């Protein structure tokens, strides 16, 4: 299964980020073709040493890297990607990878 991991860094206004993310960005992202599952963190991310600069983590799941590339390259995927500029003022890191069970 292929995944996109998005780590959203702490925004200037966490309440505004959370509201926009829930009401606008999640519905946009859920329209990406080939998306099988989508989950987000429910609490601030921490490291073994304590707090981190990450406000929220999101993971999007696809059947394969080809499905992921097609979905992210679609009009819906591009719309979700372009939407980051509307709310992720702290920045976001995206990681794309394939997985296997071990």
pLDDT in tens, 72-101: 999 999 999 999 999 999 999 999 999 998
- CATH class of segment(s) 2-98: alpha beta
Q: Sign (positive/negative) of CA torsion 71, 54, 93, 48?
A: negative
pTM of the prediction?
0.93
Domain-wise residue ranges, the chain = 2-98
What is the pLDDT, as a whole number, of residue 43?
A: 79
Mean pLDDT estimate for the chain: 96
Residue 25 sits at φ, ψ, to 5 deg, of -70, -45
Distance CA 44, CA 23 (A): 19
Instruction: Give the CA count within 13 Å in the CB-facing half-sphere of 63.
Output: 6
Structure tokens at 50: 């304590």
């Amino acid at each position: 299964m292929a995944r996109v991991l998005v780590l959203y860094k702490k925004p200037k206004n966490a309440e505004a980020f959370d509201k926009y993310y829930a009401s606008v960005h999640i519905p946009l992202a859920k329209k990406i073709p080939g998306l099988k599952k989508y989950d987000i963190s429910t609490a601030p991310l921490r490291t073994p040493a304590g707090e981190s600069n990450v406000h929220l983590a999101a993971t999007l799941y696809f059947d394969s890297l080809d499905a992921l590339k097609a979905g992210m390259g679609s009009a819906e995927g591009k719309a979700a990607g372009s939407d980051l500029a509307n709310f992720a003022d702290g920045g976001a890191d995206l990681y794309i990878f394939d997985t296997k069970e071990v």
